[in-house]
Amino acid sequence: MIKDSANKQSKLAINGGKPVCTTKWLAWPTFDNAERKQLLGVLESGEWWYGGKVRQFEAKFAAFQTARFGVSCTNGTAAIEMGLRGLGVLPGDEVIVPPYTFIATAAAVVTVGAIPIFADILPGTLCIDPDDVERKLTPRTKAIIPVHVGGYVADMDRLNKIARKHKLRVLEDAAHSWGTQWQGWGTGTLGRCGTFSFQVTKNITAGEGGILVTNDEALADLCRSYSHCGRRKGSAWYDHDYLGSNLRMTEFQAAVLLAQLGRLEKQTLKRQASAQILDRELQDVPGIRLLTPEPRMNRRSYHMYIFRIEEQTLGVSRDRFLEALVAEGVPASKGWYQPLYGNGVFRNANQGPANGISAPFFGRGVDYTKVHCPVCEQVCRDAVWIPQNVLLADKNTIRLVAQAIQKVVARAGQLH
C-alpha cells in the first residue's frame, strides 16, 4: 500500500509537477582537513614511496575487516589478479564467476590465463547462485569468485561448503563491502582471501588503489612478493626469486586512505541506517521488489541501494520509471552492469587472429555466445540503483527519497 505522503503531488515532475526532492546531494569524493594533513605530512617528509603510510594503512584496514594481513596494490583489478596467482590458479584452469559484476572480476581471470565460467545470480540477493555454481563445476574448476554486490554478502556458508567438497579456492571480490560483516567477520576473511577497490566512486577512495586481505600469512607473503617485483621477505633488494610485477601503492594514496578510513565506520553505519529507512518505507509498495533480508549479515556497507521494479505491475518500463524518478530529484540509475558475457571481450574472444588483448581465447575452444544466465539478464532489465552518497543524507531527506519512489509508483499511469 502506498502511503498518503506519496499522493500529495497530483502531477509527476516529469510532466510539469513539483519534484519531491530538491536536495543538493553530497559531492563525492568527500574530504576535509584530515586528508590535507596526511598528504602534507607525506609531501614534507620526502618519503613518497612505499613506506610507513602504506604499512600503517594495510594494518589498519586489515584489522577493520577482521583480517590478520593486508597487501596493498595499485587497484582492485590488480588485487584480484594477485590473489588468483597467489592461490595457484594457472593457465587453462576454470574459475567460476557471476556475470552481474564489473568487468575486472572476469578480466583478471583471463589475464592469468584461466577461463571464466559464468554462474547465474540469485534474484533476491544479486549475488552468485550456489546451486548454479555446482552445476558449472568441471574437473578443470580451480576457484570461485563470489562478488558481494552493493555490499550484500554472497552465501559464503554454501560456497565454502562446495569449495571444501571439491577442493576449490575461494577469493571474495569484496570491492563493494568495506565494513560489511557476516556473522561478525569482515568480508575478505570468509574465503581464503578477499580483494577491495579504492577507485574514485568507492565508499573509501584515493582515486585508485586496492588491497588483498587474508588470515593466511604464507598467502600474504606470496602476494606481497608478486606486487613487489618478485622480492621475498628478507631477501636482498636485487634478488627476485619469484615472478612478480610492480603493483605498489604510493605513500600519497595511503595517506588519503588513512584519513578516509578514519570516518568509514561512521559513514557505514549511516548508510545502513538510511537503507533501513528505505526498506521500511518501500516494503509494501506494489511493483517494488526489495532484496531478501539476510540475518547472517550483521553489517552492510551499501555501495549502492538496489531495488527492482515489476514492469507488468506498474505498466511502465524500468527506463521510463527512472526518467520519472530522476525528475523527482533522486539521482538513480539502471547501474552500469550488463551480463559480462555480453561484452565484446567475451563475445568475440575466440575470433582471430590470435591476440592477447583482442582475442585472448582464440583457438582454445571457448565460445561465450552460447552462455545464458536468465536471472542476471532480467535483473539488468529491471534493477534501480541509488548511489552511496545519497545514503549519507539526513533521515528526513531519505524519507523524501522514499516518497519520490512512492509518487512515481502511484502516478505510473501518467508515464504513458
31 is catalytic: no
Burial (CB count within 10 angstroms: exposed 0-12, middle 13-18, buried 19+), residue 363: exposed
Residue where the block lists cell 566512486: 201
Cell (9 digits) for 314: 506498474
pLDDT of residue 144: 99
Q: Which phi and psi angles does 305 have, rounded to 5°?
A: -100, 125
C-alpha distance from residue 140 to each of 93, 265, 349, 375 (Å): 5, 40, 20, 25
Q: How confident is the model at residue 416 (pLDDT cuts 50, 70, 90)?
A: confident
| Residue 346 contacts residue 97 (beta carbons within 8 Å) | no
231 is catalytic: yes
| Residue 230 contacts residue 56 (beta carbons within 8 Å) | no
pLDDT in tens, 145-195: 999 999 999 999 999 999 999 999 999 999 999 999 999 999 999 999 999
Q: Which of 68, 136, 158, 248 is catalytic?
A: 248
| Residue 154 contacts residue 127 (beta carbons within 8 Å) | yes
Query: Is the bond preceding residue 29 a cis peptide, omega within 30 degrees?
Result: yes
pLDDT in tens, 351-389: 888 888 988 998 888 999 999 999 999 999 999 999 999
Q: How many residues does the chain have?
A: 416
Long-range contacts of 361-369 (CB under 8 A, 24+ apart): 361/110, 361/115, 364/115, 366/115, 368/118, 368/341
C-alpha distance from residue 142 to each of 8, 89, 109, 211 (Å): 56, 7, 11, 22
User: How much is the average pLDDT of 393-404?
Assistant: 98
Domain ranges of the chain: 4-26+264-336+377-415, 33-260
318 is catalytic: no
238 is catalytic: yes
Query: Is the bond preceding residue 295 a cis peptide, omega within 30 degrees?
Result: no
Architecture of domain 4-26+264-336+377-415: Alpha-Beta Complex (3.90)
First CA to last CA distance, the chain: 22
Cell (9 digits) for 245: 610485477
User: How much is the average pLDDT of 128-136?
Assistant: 98
Q: Which of 31, 131, 158, 199 is catalytic?
A: 199
Query: What CATH code is assigned to 33-260?
Result: 3.40.640.10
Q: Which of 61, 64, 102, 302 is catalytic?
A: 102
Q: Which of 176, 192, 228, 300 is catalytic?
A: 176
6 pLDDT higher than 70: no
Strand, coil or helix: what is 270? helix
Strand, coil or helix: what is 284? coil
Q: What is the pTM of this model?
A: 0.95
pLDDT in tens, 253-298: 999 999 999 999 999 999 999 999 999 999 999 999 999 999 999 9
Q: Which of 231, 271, 308, 318 is catalytic?
A: 231
Non-local CB neighbours of 196 within 8 Å, separated by 6+ positions: 61, 65, 76, 79, 174, 175, 177, 178, 188, 210, 211, 212, 213
266 is catalytic: no
Q: Which of 202, 224, 270, 303 is catalytic?
A: 202
**Pairing relationship of beta strands 115-118 and 94-97 according to DSSP bridges:** parallel
State the Cα–Cα distance between residues 73 and 54, nearest whole angstrom.
Answer: 10
59 pLDDT higher than 60: yes
User: How much is the average pLDDT of 90-95?
Assistant: 97
User: How much is the average pLDDT of 8-35?
Assistant: 92
248 is catalytic: yes
4 pLDDT higher than 90: no
Q: Which of 4, 24, 167, 238 is catalytic?
A: 238
Q: What percent of the chain has pLDDT over 70?
A: 98
State the Cα–Cα distance between residues 189 and 194, nearest whole angstrom.
Answer: 7
| Residue 89 contacts residue 114 (beta carbons within 8 Å) | yes
DSSP string computed for 5-22: GGGS-SS-GGGT---S--
